[in-house]
């Protein structure tokens, strides 16, 4: 079945009404464009650069990279390593304290730290202003490479008359980054940053760290922060690769122990001291060589601990920041660990999604609806359906059937090439299949009224009620309707029902 037929019953502001592919728009302009050449909506004078054919640009970037490498190789390795460590620490500190920072700077520094491991650096230049110049040069290079990646995966398109077109849905994704605080300092709109803060607060209990405590338990309270860090580190393909650690519970224990033993702003550790800390905290069960090759000397992954040729330079903020990220990636268990970090984070997300359902119920109640406290399961003739929320308002004879979807985007789906498939069309998690299921619930509801008259103790004839069907989402959804199902973000859902 082609895309148009699959999405025939769908309304969306983000899809072309003619071919149902993703729309693009110019920043600050209202007109949307379809980029499908075979589509009737396509404007023939609009031609986009094919970044894969941009050999000149690639050559230019390669030259810039070689120049930067050359400049790095002329530095005094020890001092330059210390400088980068210090710069990264400043960003890490700001992320932990303020919840926002110049993330791109952090990611660019991570790349430079890998270069530090892989280049043969024997220079003697130690001028601070030169270090800063190299760093800014590299950040500029990194930024351009990210822009090229954005073009490659069609988040952004550049027309031949040099206008930038963004995926229209990108505005929603930017808002989503903002709710997680993943925006550069000063860019964010504080109001939307804290839109869902209440929900994560409710799933959080303050816990103090005690030795011997289950690690996952300590970090559970940070689950939304952990999710945010994942989006930062995995926003681009090149940064995902840079952070593709596969940590065991033991690795995290060691890094945590290290962070707690740091007393000064920045400390310089000798090989023997780090080895000793490792052996004590792993009770001899780990492999120190493997540990440092993954987290210090890797030629592909960003070093969490910086080695300056003599010392391991460590600071608490940087290590804590990376631990938060590692917890979310922890899939390998060690003896005595009762659940992986990834599982615990998942559990927390489910908890948040139940609270979200509760918010929906509460809103309907203040609007005069009688609402079930728990999902209602009804079966008849081998067919079974679960209803998250059913609200009944007797005086106006209204019934609402609501399905709550408190879900974030998967980091890999946030490109022009994957968004439609992963967020909308995916058989398991896609919004379309959710909508089809919910439409089936409505059909079932109408087919077996007697079951519901009893279940909901309706006071009037079933036929006399007006039934509306909703899917309520955490972020503005890609589609706004499927057949009789309205699909809407929480705030808009609330505005559709007046408080009494
Ligand atoms: Zn089109």
How far apart are the CA of 11 and the centre of ligand 1, in A?
A: 14
Mean pLDDT of 307-333: 92
| Separation in Å, CA 409 to CA 190, 228, 304 | 21, 11, 27
How far apart are the CA of 213 and the centre of ligand 1, in A?
A: 56
How far apart are the CA of 16 and the centre of ligand 1, in A?
A: 5
CA pseudo-torsion sign 407, 412, 413, 416: positive
b/e map of 20-40 (b: 16 or more CB within 10 Å)?
Answer: bbbbbbeeeeeebbbbbeeee
How far apart are the CA of 36 and the centre of ligand 1, in A?
A: 6
Residue with tokens 């030259």, as numbered in its chain: 63
How far apart are the CA of 24 and the centre of ligand 1, in A?
A: 10
How far apart are the CA of 486 and the centre of ligand 1, in A?
A: 23
How far apart are the CA of 158 and the centre of ligand 1, in A?
A: 18
Residues 40-65: pLDDT tens digits?
A: 989 888 888 888 888 888 899 999 99
Phi, psi (deg, nearest 5) at residue 216: -55, -35
* Residue in 155, 157, 152 with CA at minimum distance from that of residue 42: 157
Residues 421-469: pLDDT tens digits?
A: 999 999 988 999 999 999 999 999 999 988 888 888 889 888 999 999 9
* Model confidence, pTM: 0.83
| Separation in Å, CA 459 to CA 83, 370, 393, 449, 455 | 73, 12, 10, 13, 12
Range ranked top by mean pLDDT from 26-35, 305-314, 441-450? 305-314
Band the pLDDT of 294: cuts 50, 70, 90: very high
How far apart are the CA of 167 and the centre of ligand 1, in A?
A: 13
How far apart are the CA of 410 and the centre of ligand 1, in A?
A: 25
Residues 186-237: pLDDT tens digits?
A: 333 333 333 444 444 444 444 444 444 455 555 665 777 787 788 889 888 9
Residues 133-175: pLDDT tens digits?
A: 999 999 999 989 988 898 899 988 888 888 889 999 988 887 7
Least confident of 86-90, 335-339, 373-377: 335-339
Residues 469-488: pLDDT tens digits?
A: 999 998 899 999 999 999 99
How far apart are the CA of 223 and the centre of ligand 1, in A?
A: 39
Quick one: what percent of the chain has pLDDT higher than 70? 89
| Confidence (pLDDT) at 227 | 79
How far apart are the CA of 151 and the centre of ligand 1, in A?
A: 19
Delineate the domains of the chain, giving CATH numbers in brackets: 52-168 (no CATH), 200-341 (no CATH), 355-495 (3.40.1350.10)
How far apart are the CA of 312 and the centre of ligand 1, in A?
A: 56
How far apart are the CA of 25 and the centre of ligand 1, in A?
A: 13
Taking a 5 Å cut-off on Cβ, the residues next to ion ligand 1 are 16, 18-19, 34, 36, 39, 41
How far apart are the CA of 383 and the centre of ligand 1, in A?
A: 38
Report the alpha-carbon distance of residue 193 to residue 171 in Å, rounded.
Answer: 14
Average pLDDT, whole number, for the chain? 87
DSSP assignments along 238-250, one per residue: HHHHHT----BHH
Report the alpha-carbon distance of residue 327 to residue 325 in Å, rounded.
Answer: 6
How many helices and strands in the chain, by DSSP H and E?
20, 16
Contact call for residues 210 and 256 (beta carbons, < 8 A): no
Report the alpha-carbon distance of residue 17 to residue 478 in Å, rounded.
Answer: 13
Band the pLDDT of 127: cuts 50, 70, 90: very high
Is residue 395's pLDDT more than 70? yes
More confident residue, 226 or 323: 323
């Amino acid at each position: 079945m082609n895309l148009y037929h699959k999405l025939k019953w769908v309304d969306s502001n983000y899809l072309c009404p003619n071919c149902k592919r993703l729309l693009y728009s110019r920043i600050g302009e209202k007109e949307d464009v379809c980029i499908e050449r075979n589509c009737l909506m396509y404007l023939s004078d609009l031609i986009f650069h094919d970044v894969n054919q941009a050999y000149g640009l690639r050559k230019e970037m390669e030259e810039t990279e070689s120049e930067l490498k050359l400049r790095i190789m002329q530095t005094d390795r020890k001092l330059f390593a210390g400088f980068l460590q210090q710069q990264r620490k400043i960003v890490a500190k700001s992320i932990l304290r303020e919840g926002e920072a110049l993330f791109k700077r952090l990611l660019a520094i991570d790349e430079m730290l890998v270069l530090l491991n892989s280049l043969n650096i024997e220079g003697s230049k130690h001028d601070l202003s030169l270090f800063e110049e190299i760093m800014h040069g590299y950040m500029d290079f990194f930024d351009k490479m990210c822009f090229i990646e954005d073009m490659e995966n069609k988040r952004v398109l550049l027309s031949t008359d040099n206008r930038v077109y963004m995926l229209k849905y990108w505005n929603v994704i930017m808002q989503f980054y903002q709710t997680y605080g993943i925006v550069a300092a000063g860019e964010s709109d504080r109001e939307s940053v804290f839109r869902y803060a209440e929900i994560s607060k409710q799933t959080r209990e303050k816990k103090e760290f005690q030795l011997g405590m289950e690690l996952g338990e300590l970090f559970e309270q940070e689950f939304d922060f952990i999710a945010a860090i994942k989006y930062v580190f995995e926003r681009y393909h090149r940064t995902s690769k840079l952070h593709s650690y596969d940590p065991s519970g033991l690795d995290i224990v060691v890094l945590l122990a290290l962070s707690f033993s740091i007393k000064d702003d920045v400390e310089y550790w000798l090989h023997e001291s780090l080895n000793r800390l490792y052996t004590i905290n792993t009770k001899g069960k780990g492999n120190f060589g493997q540990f440092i090759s993954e987290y210090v000397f890797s030629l592909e992954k960003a070093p969490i601990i910086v080695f300056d040729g003599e010392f391991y330079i460590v600071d608490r903020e940087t290590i804590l920041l990376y631990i938060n990220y590692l917890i979310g990636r922890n899939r390998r268990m060690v003896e005595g660990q009762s659940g992986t970090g990834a599982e615990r984070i998942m559990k927390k997300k489910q908890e948040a999604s139940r609270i979200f359902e509760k918010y929906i119920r509460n809103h309907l109640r203040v609007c005069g609806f009688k609402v079930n406290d728990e999902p209602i399961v009804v079966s008849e003739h081998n067919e079974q359906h679960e209803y998250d929320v059913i609200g009944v308002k007797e005086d106006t004879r209204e019934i609402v059937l609501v399905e709550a979807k408190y879900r974030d985007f998967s980091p890999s789906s946030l490109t022009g090439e994957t968004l439609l498939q992963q967020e909308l069309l995916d058989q398991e998690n896609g919004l379309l299949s959710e909508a089809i299921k919910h439409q089936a619930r409505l059909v079932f509801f109408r087919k077996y009224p007697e079951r519901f008259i009893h279940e909901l103790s309706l006071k009037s004839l079933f036929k006399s009620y007006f039934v509306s069907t909703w899917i309520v989402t955490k972020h503005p959804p890609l589609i706004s309707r499927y057949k009789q199902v309205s699909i809407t973000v929480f705030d808009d859902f609330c505005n559709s029902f007046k408080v009494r």
